[in-house]
C-alpha cells in the first residue's frame, strides 16, 4: 500500500466522517435496491423482492462496521470507543471493579511507601554540609567488620591518611541524662567524639559552641553537645543552659 | 446444477481485483460479474463484499468515484489502479503456482512416490 493512499484514506475517514457514513449508506442501499429490481424482473412482487434482497445481504450494520474497520478507523476514535466500552464494563460488574481498584490502590500504596523509604535512605543526600564528600570508615577485628577503633588506631589514620580532608571519631554508647525541667532520668543514645567530629557534620550549633581543642585539655573533664529535641524535652528549651553540665550517667 | 462452492479464504480480494480489471463496476456489478463468469458456481456472501471493497480501496489497489447506474441511480464505481494491476498479477501468479503444486500432490500415484 502506498503511503499516499493510506494517508488519503485515513484523512477522509477522520475529516469526512459523516460524509463517509452517508456515502456508505447510499452505496449499500443502491446494492439492495438493484438486487431487488433484478428479483422483480424475475417475477417477484416488489415488497417481497425488497425483503428477500435485505435478507440475502445479511446484517447491514455488521457489514458497515466491517467497512469502517477496513477503511482504518482513526486512532482517537477507536481510543474513545475503547474507553467508553471499558467504563461500561466496569459499571456492569461492580465486584470486579472493586477488586481491581483495591488491587491498584494497594499496589500504588505499597510502591509509594517503598519509594519514600528508598528516596529518604538512598536517593536524598544526607542532611549534612558536603554530604557528597562524607564517608564512614570502620575498623575490623577478626571476623567483626564494624569493630570499634581504638584511640591509637584513630590517631594513626588521622595522621597518615592523605585521602581524607578531615577525620572525626565517634564511639556510640547508651547512657542516661537528667534534665532540669523534667527530673526523670532519660535513657539516651550518646557518643564520645573527637574534637573535629561535630564540625564535619554541622556548620554551627544553634546555641553555644562545638568542641574546640581546649576541650581536649587534661584539666577539662567533660563537655557536652545535646540535640535540639533533647534540649526542648528535658531542659524546657532554656537558652541559659549553655555552659552548664547536665547530670549524666555514662557507662565506663 | 451443483451446489455453489463457498469461496476459499483470501480469494475474494483477488476475484474483486479481476472483476474490476475488466472495467469499472459498482459493488453490485462486481457481484454480478463474478457470478456471471463463474456461471453461478461460486457463492459470495453479499455482506462481505463491501468490507473487501473498502479494504482494497484503503490499500490503494482500487479507486472509486460516484456515477450513474444503468437505471439512473447514484452508484459508486470502482476501478483498478496501477498498483492494483501489479497486485492482481502477483496474486494470480501465486494462486496458479499454488494450484499446480496442490494438483501435483493430489495426482500423485504410488509409483511416483
Q: What number is the ipTM of this complex? A: 0.83
Q: Are A70 and A57 in contact (CB under 8 A)?
A: no
Using DSSP's 3-state secondary structure scheme, residue A42 falls into coil
Phi, psi of A238, deg, nearest 5: -80, 115
How many degrees, rounded to 5, is the angle at CA A98 between CA A94 and CA A102?
A: 170
Chain B hits for A62, Cβ within 8 Å: 47
| Strand ranges (E), A68-220 | 139-141, 144-147, 170-178, 186-193
Model confidence pLDDT, tens digit, residues B70-85? 878 889 999 999 999 9
Judged by a CB distance cut-off of 8 A, whether residue B67 touches chain A is no
What is the predicted pLDDT for the residue at A10? 66
**Least Cα separation, residue A84 to chain B (angstroms):** 25
What whole-number distance in Å separates Cα of residue A148 and Cα of residue A144? 9
Tell me the shortest Cα–Cα distance from B68 to chain A, in angstroms. Answer: 11
Helix (H) / strand (E) containing B65: strand B62-68
Residue A1: the pLDDT is 55
Gap from B108 CA to chain A (nearest CA, Å):
39
Task: Confirm if A228 and A203 have CB atoms less than 8 A apart.
Answer: no
CB contact under 8 A, A5 and B27: no
The torsion angles phi and psi of A10, rounded to 5 degrees, stand at: -65, -45
Cell of A120: 529518604
Predicted structure pTM score: 0.49
Cα–Cα distance measured from residue A23 to residue B66, given in angstroms and rounded to the nearest whole number? 9
Residue B77 dihedral angles phi and psi, to the nearest 5° = -105, 135
- Give 10-residue mean pLDDT values along chain A (252 residues): 70 68 88 91 89 87 84 72 90 93 97 93 84 86 85 88 88 86 84 88 86 75 85 86 82 70
A contacts of B84 (beta carbons < 8 Å): none
Axis-axis angle for helices B46-59, A60-71 (nearest 10): 10
Looking at beta carbons, which residues of chain B come within 8 Å of A1?
A: 58-60, 83
Query: Is any Cβ of chain A less than 8 angstroms from the Cβ of B71?
Result: yes
Amino acid at each position: 500500500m502506498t503511503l499516499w493512499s493510506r494517508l488519503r484514506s485515513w484523512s477522509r475517514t477522520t475529516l469526512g466522517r459523516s460524509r463517509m457514513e452517508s456515502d456508505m449508506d447510499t452505496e449499500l442501499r443502491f446494492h439492495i435496491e438493484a438486487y431487488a429490481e433484478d428479483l422483480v424482473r424475475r417475477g417477484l412482487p416488489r415488497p417481497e423482492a425488497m425483503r428477500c434482497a435485505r435478507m440475502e445481504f445479511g446484517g447491514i450494520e455488521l457489514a458497515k462496521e466491517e467497512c469502517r474497520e477496513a477503511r482504518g478507523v482513526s486512532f482517537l476514535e477507536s481510543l474513545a470507543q475503547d474507553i467508553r466500552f471499558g467504563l461500561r464494563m466496569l459499571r456492569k460488574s461492580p465486584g470486579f471493579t472493586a477488586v481491581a481498584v483495591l488491587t491498584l490502590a494497594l499496589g500504588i500504596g505499597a510502591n509509594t511507601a517503598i519509594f519514600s523509604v528508598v528516596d529518604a535512605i538512598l536517593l536524598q543526600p544526607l542532611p549534612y554540609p558536603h554530604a557528597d564528600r562524607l564517608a564512614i570508615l570502620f575498623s575490623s577485628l577478626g571476623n567483626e567488620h564494624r569493630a570499634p577503633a581504638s584511640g591509637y588506631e584513630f590517631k594513626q589514620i588521622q595522621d597518615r591518611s592523605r585521602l581524607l580532608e578531615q577525620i572525626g571519631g565517634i564511639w556510640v554508647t547508651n547512657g542516661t541524662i537528667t534534665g532540669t525541667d523534667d527530673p526523670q532520668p532519660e535513657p539516651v543514645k550518646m557518643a564520645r567524639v573527637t574534637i573535629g567530629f561535630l564540625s564535619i557534620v554541622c556548620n554551627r550549633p544553634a546555641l553555644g559552641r562545638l568542641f574546640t581543642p581546649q576541650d581536649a585539655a587534661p584539666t577539662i573533664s567533660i563537655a557536652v553537645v545535646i540535640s535540639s529535641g533533647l534540649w526542648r524535652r528535658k531542659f524546657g528549651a532554656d537558652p541559659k543552659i549553655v555552659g552548664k553540665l547536665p547530670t549524666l550517667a555514662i557507662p565506663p | 446444477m451443483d451446489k455453489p462452492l463457498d469461496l476459499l479464504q483470501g480469494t475474494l480480494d483477488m476475484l474483486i481485483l479481476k472483476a474490476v480489471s475488466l472495467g469499472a463496476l459498482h459493488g453490485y456489478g462486481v457481484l454480478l460479474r463474478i457470478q456471471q463468469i463463474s456461471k453461478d458456481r461460486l457463492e459470495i456472501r453479499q455482506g462481505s463484499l463491501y468490507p473487501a471493497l473498502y479494504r482494497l480501496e484503503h490499500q490503494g489497489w482500487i479507486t472509486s468515484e460516484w456515477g450513474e447506474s444503468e437505471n439512473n441511480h447514484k452508484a459508486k464505481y470502482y476501478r483498478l489502479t496501477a498498483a492494483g494491476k501489479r497486485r492482481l498479477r502477483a496474486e494470480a501468479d501465486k494462486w496458479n503456482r499454488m494450484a499446480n503444486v496442490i494438483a501435483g500432490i493430489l495426482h500423485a500415484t504410488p509409483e511416483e512416490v
